[in-house]
Amino acid sequence: MVMGRPRTYDRAQVALDLIEWAKKDDSINLNGFCISYNPPLEPSKITLWARECTDFRRAYEGAKAYLGERREQRLNENKIHVKAYDLNASTYDHFLKDERKQMAEHAAALQKDSNPTASLTTEQILSLKKIIDES
């Protein structure tokens, strides 16, 4: 097993590089950025930085917006399969993610309002949690 110092990255530089990478016509997936970075980045690192740092989060969300638009455009041009698009659509499309979250919350409220004494089944709770977590 090769051991060494943990990799260190300049978050500000990674943020700039992420935006520049996302602007490229062939950029469609954040994993592509992670594996092409030198040295490669763990995908969990960029999501962690997005939670920890406001400036990095802005770059991360901006990059996702570029990718979301490109992925939708490719879908409309039949250059990406609908299932490949749907699988990660809410990852890259903030508006879709927000809409899905609102729909899940609304469905839960309707369930509660229609029968206040009834509780959601474990399966329903897990399904709603999955929808909300994806957002």
Are residues 36 and 42 in contact, defined by beta-carbon separation less than 8 angstroms?
Answer: no
Same domain assignment for residues 22 and 48: yes
Confidence (pLDDT) at 97: 83
Q: Tell me: do 18 and 48 sit in the same domain.
A: yes
Looking at the fold, whether 35 and 76 belong to one and the same domain comes out as yes
Q: What does the pLDDT look like over 90-119, one tens digit per residue?
A: 888 888 888 888 888 888 888 877 765 556
Same domain, 111 and 59: no
Q: What is the pLDDT of residues 7-59, one digit of tens each?
A: 789 999 999 999 999 999 999 999 999 999 999 999 999 999 999 999 999 99
Q: Which domain holds residue 128?
A: 93-135
Is the pTM higher than 0.75? The answer reads no
In a domain, 4, yes or no: no
Domain count, the chain: 2
Give the residue among 124, 61, 57 at the shortest CA–CA distance from 91: 61
Round to whole Å and give the CA distance between 65 and 29. 11
Please give the average per-residue pLDDT across 127-132, as a whole number: 75
